Structures are given as structure tokens and as C-alpha cells.
Amino acid sequence: MSEARSDRCPICGGDNSCTVITDEVSGEPESCADCWCQSRSFSATLLERVPDELRDAACICRRCSNAADREAAEGVTFTVDPGGRPAVRLQHEGDDALIALAGAQLLSWRSADEEIFWTSGAPEYVDRQPVRGGVPVVFPWFGDHPDDRDKPAHGFARSCDWQVVSTAPSAVTLALRDDPATLAAWPHEFSLELHVALSEALHIRLTTHNPAEHAVTFEQALHTYFDVGDVRAASISGLEGVPVTEHASRPERAWDRYAPLRFRSETDRVFQGAPAEIALQAPALRREVRLETQDAASAIVWNPWPEKAARLSQMNADDWQSFCCVETANCKENAVTLEAGARHQMTLTLRRAQR
């Protein structure tokens, strides 16, 4: 945080009405006799989750406190990812999803005993780095930073450690808030929540809260990697006729913009004014995945093709052949401007269909 704020939880960054805040003159905490927190005893494990720079600045909120006192809800298991990092597994009627706390990254979604997401052939499960695959969270800028190429591509959210703040049957909510490192990269207070729920479909909701006293503008995306078996046989319907800009360095020279999208060369197309429903057909796997979105004005379709893939990290030479990205986003001219105190929600629902 840029300064101690009693109205923000030091764990999730959410709203907090507690008035405990160190007095700048006396160094003693102000009175909190009437606050709900006086009736609670916070465990040492919960207190350890409070960053050092925020200790004694404000009280942990009710939700984080209550979540710490409860066991995980039915269909939710605390586990580790393939690299041994903390993770959460969701299960529902034989389907399951795995979310790493590192980056709040969805690493796997198995439906009808088939993996829907794609992971590279050379994944690296290390701290402060996203895995090539699954669903990395992009925030607060999309692609390269507009002014400083030394800052990480696609922002910092996918490289930060998130906190579990609540669970529900086959669902989990993770949170990320500003800290000194994020403020150095992007000088704005914020709090993010990623809610993931597994039912007959996979539901993802990214909520952004602006707790500051001024408006803030940001970009965001759910950078979803899909396994398609053979990208040259895959197609995407629903984007026909939607305004598009191709950013690939070696793109397809010409294509029918009113026909389903096919992959013939490096593809990096940004669609603006994207529809609420898109369908990805993967004939090589005999399946279709339907994407249903709300408050997502942009969609990005990406495959690096072999030449660019050879320059990317965590990629084997032939990995490009088996995946494509269909990203749910608000970026470039559709970046979000959020007024002081306001919230924005972007949602994505994924449904698998056999073909």
C-alpha cells in the first residue's frame, strides 16, 4: 500500500471497516473497542499471511478471518501443483480443475476424463514465473509495457502469489492486492479477486476494485491455452466480421474475415467488440469448447507457428502444433477505466461438447 489504510484488509485488500491504525504521533493504536475484531482471536497461521509492511496497519477482514476458521468446502482440496507449489483442486462429478496460488493460474481442467487446457512440453513450475499453459491472469497491461520494455510482458499479476480468501462447494476465491513491488511497477492501489467454480461448466470471474480516490485505467485478460490436437485442423467460429488487427510478424497474407478463423501461419489477432459467445472446434480431438463471456470487449487468438515458438521459453520445437490461445480480454482501445471506489467484473464460462 502507498500508506496505511484502516479500510482495507491487509491480506485480500478488500473493504474493511475496522479502525485499528497506528497513530503517527504517539505510535499507539487508536481505539477499536466497538469493532467486531475485538471478539475474535486470529490464529498465528492467519497472521503470518499479513505482509510485514502491513502489520498493525489494519485489521484482517471478516471474510479472511472466517475462511481461516473453516475447513475447505466440499469439492475443494488444498494440495500442490506438479512443481510442489501451493495449489487448490476443485472436483465436481468426476471433473476436476487445478489452480496454483502462484499467479492464480488455472493449470488444468479435466472434463469427461479429457484435459481441455494445453501445457507446454517443457513447463517450469518455479516461483515468480507463470507456466506456459493453462490460464495465466494478465493485469494491469496487455503485451509489452507501453513505455518500459524491461517490465514483464502482460503485467505482474501472473507472477505474484495470491491468497485464498474463501471456498464454496467446488469453488474458490483467490485475491491479490497492491504491495511495494507492484506499486514500483504500476503506481496504483488495487485489489483483484479470481473466483473459479466447477459445475457442468468451468466458471471464471475476475473482479477488479479501485480503492483509490482517483480513476485508474488498466488492461486485463484470461490468456487461455487450449489443447486442439492439431492446430491446422482447428477453427474458431463467432468472430466472423468482428473488427480485427493482426499483430503477427509473419501472418497469413489474406483470409476471409467472414468465415470461421483457421490457422495457416503465425496468428496474433486482436478482435475488438467481441461477441459474448465463441466456439473453438478441435476435430483432431473430436470436441468443441464454447466460450461465454460478460464484460469482455476484446478477444485475442494466438499461435506462434514454428519460427516464433523457437524463441519462446518453456516450448519444445513441435509444441506449436497442438494448441491455440483464445483470450478473453479488455485491452488496447477497450482498456477499462475504473472510477474511484468502483468495481469491474469480467467473466468467462467454458463448456465442453463432444463432436
Q: Look-up: residue for cell 475443494?
A: 76
Q: What are the b/e assignments for 156-167, b being 16+ CB within 10 Å?
A: bbbbbebbbbbb
Q: How far is CA 248 from the centre of its chain?
A: 24
User: Are 102 and 76 contained in the same domain?
Assistant: yes
Q: Looking at residue 113, what DSSP letter applies?
A: T
User: Are 263 and 162 contained in the same domain?
Assistant: yes
Q: Exposed/middle/buried for 154, CB within 10 Å: 0-12, 13-18, 19+?
A: buried
Q: Pick the closest to residue 193 from 212, 213, 170, 171 (CA basis).
A: 171
Residue where a domain terminates, one of 48, 70, 92: 70
> What is the domain-level CATH number for residue 237?
2.70.98.10
Gap between the Cα atoms of 303 and 309, Å rounded: 9
Cis peptide before 140 (omega within 30 of 0): yes
Domain total for the chain? 2
Residue where a domain terminates, one of 70, 93, 110: 70
User: Are 23 and 138 contained in the same domain?
Assistant: no
Provide the 3-class DSSP secondary structure of residue 184.
helix
Q: Pick the closest to residue 140 from 238, 212, 198, 54 (CA basis).
A: 212
User: Are 262 and 209 contained in the same domain?
Assistant: yes
Residue where a domain terminates, one of 70, 91, 123: 70
User: Are 91 and 25 contained in the same domain?
Assistant: no
User: Are 333 and 276 contained in the same domain?
Assistant: yes
User: Are 86 and 9 contained in the same domain?
Assistant: no
Provide the 3-class DSSP secondary structure of residue 331.
coil
Per-residue pLDDT of the chain (355 residues; tens, 9 = 90+): 445 566 788 877 777 766 454 444 444 555 565 666 666 767 776 777 787 777 777 778 777 776 666 678 999 999 999 999 999 999 999 999 999 999 999 999 999 999 999 999 999 999 989 999 999 999 999 998 888 888 889 999 999 999 999 999 999 999 999 999 999 999 999 999 999 999 999 999 999 999 999 999 999 999 999 999 999 999 999 999 999 999 999 999 999 999 999 999 999 999 999 999 999 999 999 999 999 999 999 999 999 999 999 999 999 999 999 999 999 999 999 999 999 999 999 999 999 986 6
pLDDT (tens digit per residue) in 7-35: 788 877 777 766 454 444 444 555 565 66
Contact 205, 237 (CB under 8 A): no
User: Are 345 and 320 contained in the same domain?
Assistant: yes
User: Are 161 and 263 contained in the same domain?
Assistant: yes
pLDDT (tens digit per residue) in 73-101: 999 999 999 999 999 999 999 999 999 99
User: Are 4 and 109 contained in the same domain?
Assistant: no
User: Are 327 and 203 contained in the same domain?
Assistant: yes
* Residues recorded for the chain: 355
Contact 109, 291 (CB under 8 A): no
User: Are 137 and 213 contained in the same domain?
Assistant: yes
Query: In which domain, by residue range, is 62 found?
Result: 1-70
pLDDT (tens digit per residue) in 311-346: 999 999 999 999 999 999 999 999 999 999 999 999
Q: Could you give the residue ranges of the DSSP H alpha helices within the chain?
A: 44-47, 62-69, 180-185, 305-309
Gap between the Cα atoms of 81 and 88, Å rounded: 8
